[in-house]
Structure 1
């Protein structure tokens, strides 16, 4: 049995990431040099050049990044994370120019809610989540905590956001559920002292804060859809509004422009430009998903918007026109496929949609949406004329790959949802698997389709189907612990392999005399196709099931990924790991080696799509 020593294997080179965690409040930031966007994806912080789209990755967190901040000078980036209850959640300060860790700070329990740098890069203030409830001041030069305090009064709820004043390193503001405080830092006594703002009868949950350029006032966006204006010196409520047309689903992002006007993002996806005098919108644009971030580039002639559906938009301020620059899945990605013999593009599927991507540039070429449905599996038909997809409503849907136009639908293909799909290389048959365990063979032609045969051996849902090159045989893997090799001309079972596992994936070796399988028992098993006998098994993972597997076209290597969040490349004959890739923060659901063996593309439950450089030469080219 192979034992994997992580120190003996090489790292996979990560080339590109498609993804953006739009759920992080104020998680999209334009760096002060105006050249880069900084945003989180899972446990990674990504720095992306705005013009060249070149990406850099800051790795160091052990779980999802929950907040990001950039210092006013641009020298430092700070990120905080979530972790399990009872453990301490780390804050990492990064040196922006060196692209490396400057300091790791640990005091908060379970989650870091928000971060803010002081205007002269002297201090960092951090807020703990609801299980922590504290505010801690850190000295950046000494990398140590100066002091801390409970972030809100005992009678108030959770504190959700923090920001420094624009000119003083000793003054910052926190806000949240029934709490709005201005704090003074007392360095000689190592104390931070709060003053509660007097809002009279106004009770609000504040989600975001923006401070005016001269530090005279600050504005608070609330869940009730209005904006509070508070005097920073007197701590008294100056005004609030709009009185009638409040922002639907709350004010979720705020920025003050040099003109004094406000940019307001709301929970219903509307970006508004409003006058400070009455808070009424004078320009507005509707986007996909709740607005979670607004970040200005320079003086505000251009600004960037991040939404809860993981979209990034660039806005021209004068025309107030949006341009979608980054898009990705916001739900778990279930499958990935390349067209036969082509590595130029690939398709992925998730809840509600199928997307086609250009491999080199990571640009979205096509989106096919089926509302309120989940696509479990996809396949390009061999002649390239359609995309076949398997859906949880029991239907198989075919779309054109150029326009995404529906071609035909096979209704009631499976009674408990279609869970796996494959096509023959002559483009004449679809083999589908369902949640009830049946394998069905469909004959397809230009405008018609018919059921040829239904085969029942599996007792549980079918997780994967692969077809032999001669189109006479296929293999199906099921979560009932069986893999069945089928004759799809006579529609009978040729062989069955059994294991004490829930099978997740199966692959034919290119020479097609062996199959390899894996699943929840974390083992990679080799089987003889002729008689179904076991050849060998390997310890594939130290934790969690293996959900995805693919073999290189030359059969020399295969790759696996699963709940341990690692992409592993194995030598097929040696049965040993040659390379490991770390970058995913969600469980890997599927991965594929592209047909020309230049890339490995892996997808995960957090919606991320990662492209890796394939580490071995391809002798078949």
Structure 2
């Protein structure tokens, strides 16, 4: 790491571009494949495209593992001890991952599409479907990397069509397989003398799954047509006759079971059908199913979005509910049997249902169509997204969950913006309206319209939140301005001769800049009311623009792939970046040119400045997002948003082996081979032919529609085909050798801290070593009484890293008062310096503000809950007191009435 050459620059400046790492994937919670519960039942693992997301249901957080598969994931399997995760893509290529560390251990190719993969209960073997066969592999070790960790134990044959599922027995010595050939078979892991695999036949459709009961004396098979067969030991007479017939046919002598050997009861049992049950769901097929042995519950998901629970073997319907509008692709149950996880592929839904209390533990759904735009809130805690489905979703940036969805728009949402002040988000749509949503009451409180219908594709909100502007693509190409308070149209700005593609207010709110397809940008005086506006001429159509945080410069991207930087006050172009080659990359399946020459037509459609204004982030219709130095125009880093080969435009070189007479194999429509009728139906337009341009495409393209930097400067997000990708600074283990001596080691730091009690020296040494756990150990060991003196003696060089560390501690650590003492002491001791160099510490201040705001909201919420509880207790006590007084008064009234009556009688 190069050191600064001049002493005027601070030591800890804005982190380098290389420090940004993939952090999380929001906006998409489930795509296809199977969802899996962790053994403790507290988390759900869901395949999201070619990535894996883990949803913590107890702490209400989500995280996406860092690795990627080559294509969309088809199956997941987690070992019983949660140490090894195997994810298999559509082509049968598997990734072996250390689940706890999210580290890829090995890549392996099963060479065929995998329908199911299961770990044995003891974790020693992995059973995998392989067409009509089943392969059993020994589980690789997750502690050491080996050259060939996968060792094949045995290949099992016998089925005549694709195997669909595998179920292990509790002792890991037997497993059941089901197939499209309408049968199930029972295999043994190790050979048993005289045993041949049992076949369970009789179903009239593909058998989806087979399960053992908890005592392994009963087997249940479930078929696609909604039939459940119960298999158990045959009666003695029937078993004897069948046994003699089979042994005569096989030429085997009867075997006598010995008590000294392993328990082969399951293998030696003569299985027969005892009962046949049917779900009786009209017009519905069984799509997914799972089994919870301890409670004898069979959970089934149907193609109509209905799921049900049946208690076996009595086949009692415990629960039936419709949870989705489309078929339930995957069902999972946790170890305790309380929570059920459902995945619906078509809607992208992930649901966790607690069936006993009939309540949702988790209910998440991404945008049904592409995500078009995003915006960060002023504190960086919330992200708003808009999509082609007409929905506006608000996501929590920390947890990754969507907590509110607005469905008021009737067409695609093209732009969203947060108000800088207050809990308000604005959205513009192609339905001709701009809407304002209240994030406190969660309602659409204002709708802005125009005299004549206009389709809006750009939006801007001034810093005060009083004025909202939208640009349209109608006939007049005007810019419309409304008052947020009244909802009335204030002004119409005319002058552009093409659709207005982007709008942006300056940070001071005195200027509005608009970009248009007429090859110009215009600067409007918001409050001056001047009608003469001088346009800045460009060489090509303007697509996007962004204001620098200080309001003195604006960046504009054009259709020819260039980014130009303009001085707003003087109207002078400062820098020009030729970015066409940078944004190009990736080759579509039907491209005739190579990826290196495929830069024609490539451009940036979204721009965003960093928090300090030193860099510009740019994204376009490609797999790359570029980060440029705004002053020098140098490409600092190019981020690849996805390596998923299931998307079009991610490959650099096409594979000639996948070229057929009908064209590239990826473009051949194979939906007719799908198993469900509703998936095989041809939904193309009448009269459409293969050469028709109106033919629908089923292969999505990798592209970025919007990029935005967080106001804290610690992360940025991209609205892409995969969802909302979040990249953040991974500086927890960044090695910074500034003033680092050989004497500075973790051992010497702990010795200075514990034995010598030199807190300042230990803190500075830990900051030099820059290991987050070590800094936290030293920080928590400092007594509160020593904080004011220590902060006064702290060198100015270390102010920024200490403040950044405090910002992260506010989010994670419960020691709120201790953190506040540190922050107060630092600002009291170094407030003058921080005010003088506030621009250099802007990102740190925003991160600190975000943490303080979060703490404040938590304390306010907790105080309100406590006050409500206390008020409730006092009210109950007052009511009890009034009730007691009333009862005493009634008792006194009876006595008084009786004595009065006696006096009257005596008189």
Map of 2:480 onto structure 1: 441
The Cα of 1:550 is off from its aligned counterpart by 1.1
Q: Which moved more, 1:352-361 or 1:229-238?
A: 229-238
Say whether residues 1:494 and 2:530 are aligned partners: no
Map of 2:219 onto structure 1: 217
The Cα of 1:80 is off from its aligned counterpart by 1.2
Change (3 A) 1:73 1:385: closer
8 Å contact kept, 1:115–1:125? yes
Query: Residues 153-208 of structure 1: CA distance to partner in whole angstroms, max 9, x if unpaired?
Result: 4xx6x6655444554456441435x65453747989xxxx99875235x235x555
Q: How does 1:579-598 map to 2 (within 5 A)?
A: 587-598=703-714
Map of 1:102 onto structure 2: 105
The Cα of 1:115 is off from its aligned counterpart by 2.5
Q: How does 1:353-392 map to 2 (within 5 A)?
A: 353-370=391-408, 373-384=411-422, 386-392=424-430
8 Å contact kept, 1:253–1:292? no
8 Å contact kept, 1:571–1:577? yes
8 Å contact kept, 1:220–1:229? no
Query: Residues 491-517 of structure 1: CA distance to partner in whole angstroms, max 9, x if unpaired?
Result: 6663254456x7553212234454323
Q: How does 1:278-357 map to 2 (within 5 A)?
A: 279=315, 281-288=317-324, 290-308=327-345, 309-316=347-354, 318-324=356-362, 328-329=366-367, 331-339=369-377, 341-350=378-387, 351-357=389-395
Query: Residues 26-52 of structure 1: CA distance to partner in whole angstroms, max 9, x if unpaired?
Result: 22x122244543222232223454434
Map of 2:76 onto structure 1: 68
Map of 2:438 onto structure 1: 400
Map of 2:813 onto structure 1: none
The Cα of 1:78 is off from its aligned counterpart by 0.9
Change (3 A) 1:169 1:561: farther
Say whether residues 1:537 and 2:580 are aligned partners: no
2:534 & 2:479 partners in 1: Cα distance?
Answer: 16
Change (3 A) 1:113 1:604: farther
1:524 & 1:245 partners in 2: Cα distance?
Answer: 59
Change (3 A) 1:508 1:228: farther
Map of 2:93 onto structure 1: 90
Query: Residues 523-553 of structure 1: CA distance to partner in whole angstroms, max 9, x if unpaired?
Result: 5444555557573214333426544331023
2:324 & 2:446 partners in 1: Cα distance?
Answer: 28
The Cα of 1:560 is off from its aligned counterpart by 3.2
Change (3 A) 1:243 1:531: closer
8 Å contact kept, 1:242–1:279? no
The Cα of 1:59 is off from its aligned counterpart by 0.5
The Cα of 1:61 is off from its aligned counterpart by 1.6
2:92 & 2:221 partners in 1: Cα distance?
Answer: 29
Change (3 A) 1:383 1:175: same
The Cα of 1:79 is off from its aligned counterpart by 0.4
Say whether residues 1:78 and 2:86 are aligned partners: yes
Say whether residues 1:571 and 2:571 are aligned partners: no
1:152 & 1:531 partners in 2: Cα distance?
Answer: 75
Change (3 A) 1:357 1:243: closer
1:144 & 1:356 partners in 2: Cα distance?
Answer: 47
Q: 2:179 aligns with which of 175, 178, 191?
A: 175
1:368 & 1:40 partners in 2: Cα distance?
Answer: 26
2:210 & 2:563 partners in 1: Cα distance?
Answer: 52
Map of 2:691 onto structure 1: none
Q: 2:720 aligns with which of 589, 604, 613?
A: 604
Report the number of matched residues.
589
Query: Residues 433-479 of structure 1: CA distance to partner in whole angstroms, max 9, x if unpaired?
Result: 3344824222325333226326364545x54322234545434445x
Change (3 A) 1:428 1:317: closer
Q: Secondary structure at the match of 1:10?
A: helix
Q: How does 1:465-544 map to 2 (within 5 A)?
A: 465-469=503-507, 471=509, 473-477=511-515, 480=517, 482-487=519-524, 489-490=529-530, 494-499=534-539, 504-518=543-557, 523-527=562-566, 529=568, 530-531=570-571, 533=573, 535-539=575-579, 540-543=582-585
The Cα of 1:287 is off from its aligned counterpart by 2.9
Structure 2: segments with no counterpart, 5+ residues: 1-15, 141-148, 233-265, 587-601, 645-701, 732-799, 805-839, 846-907
Map of 2:119 onto structure 1: 117
1:543 & 1:449 partners in 2: Cα distance?
Answer: 46
Q: Secondary structure at the match of 1:603?
A: strand
Query: RMSD of aligned C-alpha atoms?
Result: 4.1
Q: Secondary structure at the match of 1:72?
A: coil
8 Å contact kept, 1:164–1:173? no
2:456 & 2:217 partners in 1: Cα distance?
Answer: 59
Structure with higher RCO (Cα < 8 A, 6+ apart)? 1
Q: Which moved more, 1:386-395 or 1:209-218?
A: 209-218
Change (3 A) 1:203 1:517: same
Q: Which moved more, 1:63-72 or 1:113-122?
A: 113-122
8 Å contact kept, 1:136–1:145? yes
1:496 & 1:467 partners in 2: Cα distance?
Answer: 16
2:293 & 2:721 partners in 1: Cα distance?
Answer: 38
Q: Secondary structure at the match of 2:309?
A: strand
Q: 2:610 aligns with which of 547, 552, 560?
A: 552
8 Å contact kept, 2:29–2:365? no
Change (3 A) 1:413 1:593: farther
More strand by percentage: 1
The Cα of 1:307 is off from its aligned counterpart by 4.3
8 Å contact kept, 2:182–2:201? no
The Cα of 1:91 is off from its aligned counterpart by 0.7
8 Å contact kept, 1:30–1:36? yes
8 Å contact kept, 2:290–2:333? no
8 Å contact kept, 2:167–2:210? yes
Structure 1: segments with no counterpart, 5+ residues: 1-7, 83-87
8 Å contact kept, 2:175–2:187? yes
What TM-score, normalized by structure 2, do the two folds share? 0.56
8 Å contact kept, 1:475–1:483? no
8 Å contact kept, 2:51–2:64? no
Map of 1:272 onto structure 2: 308
Say whether residues 1:32 and 2:39 are aligned partners: yes
Change (3 A) 1:518 1:279: farther
8 Å contact kept, 1:66–1:80? yes
2:156 & 2:532 partners in 1: Cα distance?
Answer: 71
Structure possessing the higher radius of gyration over alpha carbons? 2
1:159 & 1:547 partners in 2: Cα distance?
Answer: 47
8 Å contact kept, 1:221–1:254? no
1:558 & 1:504 partners in 2: Cα distance?
Answer: 15
What TM-score, normalized by structure 1, do the two folds share? 0.79
8 Å contact kept, 2:169–2:212? yes
The Cα of 1:295 is off from its aligned counterpart by 2.9
Change (3 A) 1:279 1:498: farther
More helix by percentage: 2
The Cα of 1:60 is off from its aligned counterpart by 3.7
2:231 & 2:532 partners in 1: Cα distance?
Answer: 76
